[in-house]
Amino acid sequence: ENVLTQSPATLSLSPGERATLSCGASQSVSTNYLAWYQQKPGLAPRLLIYDASKRATGIPDRFSGSGSGTDFTLIISRLEPEDFAVYYCQQYGSSPVTFGQGTKLES
Amino acid sequence: EVQLVQSGAEVRKPGESLKISCKTSGYIFTNYWIAWVRQMPGKGLEWMGIINPYDYDTRYNPSVQGLFTISADRSIATAYLQWSSLRASDSAMYYCVRQWSGDYWGQGTRVTVSS
């Protein structure tokens, strides 16, 4: 299976700052089928980015995704208070689908 | 509006069976795969498997331990996750998810297995 490794495990920033989250894959992600999710306590994850760089419906443009092959990045350009949460990357280019272990973004 | 509405929380004893559901609406059920994702308390997300409601093609994650089955009923646009014999290690939150890329998620069903 394609193992995804996220870094850092925890990222401590303040509102207004820029956040850069990384996701590395053990194998090339087919067709760049890589997604990013945000999860807040007690809630289901929410899709932010799919196909590595496409924003999901209703996602603010301060969220952007980039990368290809085995290295992917999620950038939040200017943190808002509601952005502090856990973020997961996921590859769906091969079965089984796999998730990274998550990055906790804290203030 | 696309909705995935899951059945309520369940408490079972080890060895018991269980079937939880995911009722969908707002789109053509047979046009999108439905997956199940497990989240153990305080842990990350694990993909369990996925079903194509059009032809019932089903894929499982061999890395996820457990005696479970994924199924669907096209007539009522509902997907299911069931166990024939639960173990304590099956205690988790379970989410149904539309598509391989997870564009819509159910609210989750908490399953507790305890003697």
The answer to whether the CB of B46 falls within 8 A of the CB of B64 is yes
Which of the residues A30, A31, A43, A97 would you substitute to probe the B interface, choosing the one with the greatest number of B C-beta atoms within 10 Å? A97
Contacts of B6 in chain A (CB under 8 A): none
**Tally of CA atoms within 13 A in the half-sphere of A86 that contains its CB:** 17
Answer yes or no: do A47 and B102 touch at CB < 8 A: yes
Give the residue among B37, B52, B111 at the shortest CA–CA distance from A98. B37
The answer to whether the CB of A47 falls within 8 A of the CB of A103 is no
Chain A nearest-CA distance from B98, in A, is: 11
Query: Which pair of tokens denotes residue B43?
Result: 């842990």
How far is Cα B49 from Cα B82, in angstroms, rounded to an integer?
A: 12
Chain A nearest-CA distance from B89, in A, is: 19
Average pLDDT across chain A, whole number:
97
What digits encode the pLDDT tens for the residues A62-93? 999 999 999 999 999 999 999 999 999 999 99
What digits encode the pLDDT tens for the residues A50-60? 999 999 999 99
pLDDT tens per residue across all 115 residues of chain B: 999 999 999 999 999 999 999 999 999 999 999 999 999 999 999 999 999 999 999 999 998 866 899 999 999 999 999 999 999 999 999 999 999 989 999 999 999 999 9
Contacts of A88 in chain B (CB under 8 A): 44-45
Across the range A13-26, mean pLDDT stands at: 98
> What does the pLDDT read at residue B63?
87
Residues 58-87 of B with CB under 8 A from A: 59-63
Instruction: Specify the DSSP element, H or E, that contains B94.
Output: strand B92-98
